Structure formats: C-alpha cells, structure tokens
C-alpha cells in the first residue's frame, strides 16, 4: 500500500521572489553583516512588542513609482534637470539594474526603478500620449522648462499664463509627462475676470473642422503645444486651457472654423436671425446654458450661446500662446454679411486696408471680414511666443508656412496644416 505522504510528495521547485523585495532584504542583511563584532541586530525588529499607538507610515500618502528604461541615467537626469535629490543610496540588483530608489522633489517623493517586464512593471513605450501627468511646482516656470528641454525633454506645451497660474508641459527622456507650474501667478481665484468671459457679440466657443481629427490633433500639439480632452463623440476633441474654449471636429470635407457667438438673450437672438433672413433652431439647454444652432443668409453655420462678463467696449485679456488672436471671415457678399451680423450681434464695421475688407469693432477675439469667397470660411490666427520657432515647427510637422513678416501689430506667417487647413501665426505686440 502506498504511503499517503509519499503520494502527496512533490519536488521542491525554487521560486523567484519579487525583485524589489529581494533587493531590500539583501540590503538589510548586508547592513547586519557589517555591524561591529559583538553588536547584535535589535531584537525588537525580529520580535516587536505589541503596538499600542497608531502605526505611522514612512511615506506621506500616495507616492508615484516610475518605471524607466535606464534608472542610472534617469536618476542623474531628474537631479540635473528637475533638481531632485536622492533620499538614500539606490538598491542595485545583481544584474546591475536599480531595484529601488527614492527622490525628494518639489516637496514630495518619487520612487524610481528600472523596468521589470518579467513582473509586468514596464517603462512607457515610444509614441505620443501618457496615462499619468506628474505635477511639479517651481519658482520660475520658464527657467525650469528651459533647463528640462536643454537636458533632453520634449516640449509639449510652452510656458503660458493660465487662469490658475503659469505652467508648461514636457515629456522627459524616459516617457513620463510633467506639468511644470507656478500657481502664484494666478489671479488668486478660480473665478474668471469679467474680461475673460465673453460678452454680447464675442466668440464664446470655436471648433476647428478637419478631415481627420487624429492627424489634426498631432499636428497642433507639435506646433502649438495643445493637449486635449475627449469630445462628445469619437471625432471630437477639446483643447485644454485656452480661451475662448476650442474644440476639433473630424470627418469634415469643408475645412473651416465653426463659431459660437455669445448674446445677452438667446431666444431674442434666434428671433433676430430669422428676421434677418437666416435659419435658427429652437434654443435648448446644453453645457449649463441656452444654445441655438443657426445658419446665416449666405449659408454659414454658427451657434448662439448665453453671454456674461465682458461689457461692450471693455478691453479683453491678451491672448496667450496657442490661443485665438484673430479671425478672418470670408463671405460671398460683405454687404449682406455686414447687414446680417449687425442686426443679429450688433457688430460695427469699419473699412480695412484691402479691397472689400472690413474690421469688426470691439469683439473678442479680434475679427475681420472680406468678400469674394465661393464658400464661407473662417481662418484663425493663433498667438505664439516665438513666430520664427513656430514656423519651423509647422514645416517639421508637415505643414507649410511663409517666412515671418513684420506687420503694424506684430510678426505673422501664413500657414497650412498637413491636411490643407489655412491658419496664421502671430507674435503680437
């Protein structure tokens, strides 16, 4: 008869422990072996007394743990480029990889190790996009960003003033995304100033209509540093941190910029559209206010939304990098268009410098109109901090750009993106 214990016997097979745990245990044993002769390890470590007070964790809350492809180089990079300091000596594995390191950075803690694909802990791969954004507060956003880029980081969004402070976004050489920020430059409140809120006749929202939204998103990320949130549908995107708010809408043959105008009373605005010969749907509640879809008397689609904040004639905030600075509206007949938008939005026009060109007075963003367009089209101008550098980014991303030209209001370039949509770049002032 077979012995039950023999039947249950299985050979002993070695199991590889978690490499981080193994490295910590090895380091602890090594420290114990270096103690002077006659000195024992504290027995309280091996046989702790019952704890009567709450246990205090060694780390303050949630701590990010970054996997990188070359931790030795990463630790040096984070030290030199971001000002990090090692908390203790890194734990090095037998194969030379760093199993664990801790960096003090920006008043917080970041853990770093080489990637360990064998346990599913992998570094970010090549290509756009990142699932985590690390937020680092610094005294000088511009200097910190410049130092990171000079050290090899990829600039995703140049430094710019936002309502909540000044910030920039970079991708470090190891694939991790950082927002470098200084909130002290904010106005001290999350409430927008009246000048930042659209008034009657201003553009309250704009959407860039493109054939392929993924292609467009990559192009404008490379040129203007835009980042995005998902839109209301797969072909939609919302551009982060710009005013007025901007979106993208893909699948469009007619490449233009769709505009939504703010009015004091949407219902009354709908009545004015219809009275002026246009078409207007019934107002509906959307995005926390009333909205109405319209078409003017020459076939250009637009929307009306509720206004607030900026009074007519009040100075608007200057556009920041990547924001709308100017809109050129091309129509078939400027006489009809001027009559229509004067009646609907109260726009006032003055003659421009080109034949059949007109300036729209007192609106935000600034706008102009010209005639002779076979199909109505809106061409945007985006503000940039350095138009010469931006022109090079346009060309590198597959678009076209004229050499920058000095105008009375700044330096500009006439551009097309890699799908043929026209736009301008302007370094204003």
189 or 382: which carries more pLDDT confidence? 382
Q: What is the pLDDT of residue 83?
A: 86
User: Per-residue pLDDT averaged across 60-69, rounded?
Assistant: 85
CA distances from 57 to 60, 61, 236, 273 (A): 7, 8, 44, 64
Joined tokens for residue 8:
């249950």
Joined tokens for residue 422:
């026209």
DSSP H or E stretch at residue 275: helix 266-275
Give the side-chain half-sphere CA count within 13 A for 428: 17
User: Per-residue pLDDT averaged across 33-39, rounded?
Assistant: 47
**Which residues face 67 on adjacent strands?**
113
Using an 8 Å Cβ cutoff, are 268 and 276 in contact?
Answer: no
Q: How do the domains of the chain map onto residue ranges?
A: 133-185, 194-428
Q: What is the pLDDT of residue 84?
A: 87
Using an 8 Å Cβ cutoff, are 186 and 162 in contact?
Answer: yes
Using an 8 Å Cβ cutoff, are 159 and 113 in contact?
Answer: no
User: Per-residue pLDDT averaged across 46-68, rounded?
Assistant: 61
Residue 318 DSSP SS3 = coil
User: Per-residue pLDDT averaged across 49-69, rounded?
Assistant: 65
Q: What is the pLDDT of residue 274?
A: 97
Percent of the chain with pLDDT over 70: 78
- Give the CA angle between residues 102, 104, 108 to the nearest 5°: 110
Antiparallel, parallel or unpaired: β 289-295 and 284-286 = antiparallel
Do 133-185 and 194-428 have matching folds? no
Percent of the chain with pLDDT over 90: 52
pLDDT tens digits, 289-346 = 789 999 999 999 999 998 754 444 444 568 899 999 999 999 999 999 999 999 999 9
Q: What is the pLDDT of residue 272?
A: 97
Q: What is the pLDDT of residue 222?
A: 96
pLDDT tens digits, 407-424 = 888 899 999 999 999 999
Architecture of domain 194-428: Roll (3.10)
Q: Is 381 exposed, middle or buried (0-12, 13-18, 19+ CB in 10 A)?
A: buried
What's the chain's average pLDDT?
83
Task: Give me the phi and psi of 249, to 5 degrees please.
Answer: -135, 120
Architecture of domain 133-185: 2-Layer Sandwich (3.30)
Confidence of residue 105 (pLDDT cuts 50, 70, 90): confident
pLDDT tens digits, 80-95 = 889 888 888 999 999 9
pTM here is 0.57
Q: Where are the beta strands (DSSP E) in 186-235?
A: 203-209, 228-230
Q: How far is CA 294 from the centre of its chain?
A: 31
Give the side-chain half-sphere CA count within 13 A for 197: 14
């Amino acid at each position: 008869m077979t012995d039950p214990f023999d039947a249950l016997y299985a050979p002993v097979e070695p199991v590889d422990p978690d490499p981080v745990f193994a490295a910590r245990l090895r380091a602890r044993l090594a420290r114990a072996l270096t103690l002077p002769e006659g000195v024992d390890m504290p027995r309280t470590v091996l046989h702790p007394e019952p704890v009567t007070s709450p246990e205090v964790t060694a780390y303050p809350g949630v701590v990010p743990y970054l996997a990188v492809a070359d931790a030795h180089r990463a630790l040096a990079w984070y030290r030199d480029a971001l000002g990090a300091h090692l908390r203790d000596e890194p734990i090095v594995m037998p194969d030379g990889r760093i199993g664990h390191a801790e960096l003090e950075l920006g008043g917080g803690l970041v853990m770093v190790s080489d990637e360990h694909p064998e346990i599913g802990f992998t570094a970010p791969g090549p290509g756009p996009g990142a699932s985590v954004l690390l937020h680092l507060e610094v005294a000088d956003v511009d200097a910190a960003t410049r130092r990171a880029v000079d050290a090899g980081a990829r600039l995703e969004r140049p430094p710019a003033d936002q309502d909540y402070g000044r910030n920039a976004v970079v991708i470090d050489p190891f694939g991790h995304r950082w927002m470098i920020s200084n909130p002290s430059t904010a106005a001290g409140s999350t409430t927008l100033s009246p000048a930042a809120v659209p008034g009657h006749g201003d553009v309250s929202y704009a959407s860039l209509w493109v054939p392929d939204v993924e292609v467009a998103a990559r192009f404008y990320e490379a040129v203007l540093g835009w980042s995005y949130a998902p839109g209301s549908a797969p072909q939609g995107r919302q551009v982060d941190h710009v005013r007025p708010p901007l979106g993208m809408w893909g699948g469009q043959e007619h490449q233009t910029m769709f505009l939504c105008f703010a009015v004091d009373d949407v219902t009354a605005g709908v009545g004015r559209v219809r009275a002026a010969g246009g078409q207007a749907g019934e107002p509906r509640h959307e995005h926390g206010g009333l909205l109405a879809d319209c078409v003017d008397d020459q076939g250009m689609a637009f929307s009306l939304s509720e206004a607030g904040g900026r009074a007519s004639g009040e100075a608007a905030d200057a556009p920041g990098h990547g924001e709308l600075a100017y809109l050129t509206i091309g129509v078939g007949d400027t006489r009809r268009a001027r009559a229509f938008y004067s009646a609907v939005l109260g726009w006032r026009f003055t003659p421009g410098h080109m034949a059949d060109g007109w300036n729209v007075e007192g609106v935000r963003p600034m706008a102009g109109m010209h005639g002779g367009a076979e199909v109505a089209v809106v061409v945007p101008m985006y503000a940039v901090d350095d138009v010469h550098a931006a022109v090079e980014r346009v060309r590198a991303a597959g678009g076209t750009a004229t050499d920058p030209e000095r105008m009375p209001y700044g330096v500009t370039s006439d551009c097309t993106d890699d799908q043929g949509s026209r736009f301008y770049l302007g370094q204003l002032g």
